[in-house]
A and B are shown apart, each in its own frame.
Chain A
Amino acid sequence: MDLARERFFAALEERALAARVTFDVPMSPDRENRLIERLKSRDETAFNEIVGLYQSRVYNLVYRMLGSREEAQDVAQEVFITVFKAIHLFRGESKFSTWLYRIATNHCKNRLKYLGRRAVYPKTPLDDLSERDQLESASMSTSGTVDRPDRLLEGVEVERLLQEAMVELDEDHRLLIVLRDIQNLSYQEIAEITQLAEGTVKSRLHRARAALRERLVEKGALE
């Protein structure tokens, strides 16, 4: 194995250790309830706060599902519009974030169907990642623990291969990997979002990871 390849896997390991554990929104249930009540009474500033709190998580989920930044922005905005229109239907039986994720996943599925019907996929994830690479290079910023140009390139390459493999996965498998391994949601939350039994979530996730690993091995990203 050459030196570059060794370094590639070393970087991968380093990233695994440094990976974020949670994407939770730091907010007390009381504050969340107050915000929702204000939103139900059409308080526009409450809506702005909710968008501010959740936009990153929703955007990430949608981006990982669709693989295109343009589509992700549009769909993520539609998610919040649905929240604004349908907030009166939220009865507080589940967490607000779970309800929000359910809306987001439904929007993603609809958009994927729409794009599939039209057989139009405006941009490949590869295009997006190369754009990001350019942006990061231009701003001299780094991705997480990657602090050297060679490491930065490795990081971009790893991410590119991952996103490429993700797009090839079955839509349901992709969703489970995004929710569990990228967004770090609990099995219970995933079960509520997908409306599957927890056991089913676990077994499907197991298969999804196996499929992803297989694709990554094929691409030479994993051994």
Chain B
Amino acid sequence: MTPMDERIPDREREDDSGSFVRGMVSDQEPAAPPDFLRGVQTKIRRRSRGKFFRNGWTTSPSATTVQIVSLAMLLALILIWILGGPFAEVGPDRGPANRGEEALPPVKIEIRGPR
């Protein structure tokens, strides 16, 4: 504390006479512009040479977009799995084991030379 600070009595130093300032300040304080975050991200991306905030998802202030896309992709994968997986309809011949028949003996093919 400087000597000048000490000269001010405690009572005056403790007072909260700043209400006149509060009264003059508009209730609607100047707000940051809507593109504020995007501006910060662009600067970081440029300065980090694309290391950060490279893809489009991170320019969104929330992770909602990422979550929606992830969910959509997951559903698409499940659909593909259902259509092409265990419930898929396959061709008529599923092999002897699936038909419950005994396997036929192997066919002997004889190849003869020219007469």
Chain A residues with a Cβ under 8 A of chain B: 12-13, 15-20, 42, 44-45, 48-49, 51-52, 55-56, 58-60, 63, 69, 72-73, 76-78, 80-81, 84, 128, 132, 141-145, 155, 158-159, 161-162, 177, 180-182, 197, 199-200, 202-207, 209, 212-213, 216, 221-222
Q: Which residues of B lie under 8 Å from residue A60 when comparing CB positions?
A: 29-30
What mask results when residues 64 to 93 of chain B are scored 1 for a CB within 8 Å of chain A, else 0? Answer: 001000000000000000000000000000
The 3 closest A-B pairs by CB, nearest first: A144-B27, A16-B23, A181-B18
Note all chain A residues with C-beta closer than 8 A to B19.
Answer: 16, 19
Give the size of the chain B interface in residues (CB under 8 angstroms).
43
Q: B15 contacts A206, CB within 8 Å? A: yes
CA distance A16 to B40 in the complex (A): 35
Closest to B30 in A: A63
Number of inter-chain CB pairs below 8 Å? 144
A60 to chain B, nearest CB (A): 5
Measured CB to CB, the nearest residue on chain B to A136 is B28
Residues of B at the A interface (CB closer than 8 Å) are 1-2, 4-6, 8, 12-15, 17-33, 36-37, 39-41, 43-44, 47, 52-53, 58, 60-63, 66
Chain B min CB distance to A133 (Å): 11
Q: Which residue of B lies closest to A15 (CB)?
A: B23
Instruction: Report whether A158 and B24 are in contact in the complex, using a CB–CB cutoff of 8 Å.
Output: yes
Find A44's partner among B17, B33, B58 (CB 8 Å cutoff). Answer: B58
Q: Cβ of A78: which chain B residues have Cβ within 8 Å of it?
A: 43
The docked-state distance in angstroms from the alpha carbon of A118 to that of B58 is 37
Q: Are B40 and A207 in contact (CB under 8 A)?
A: no
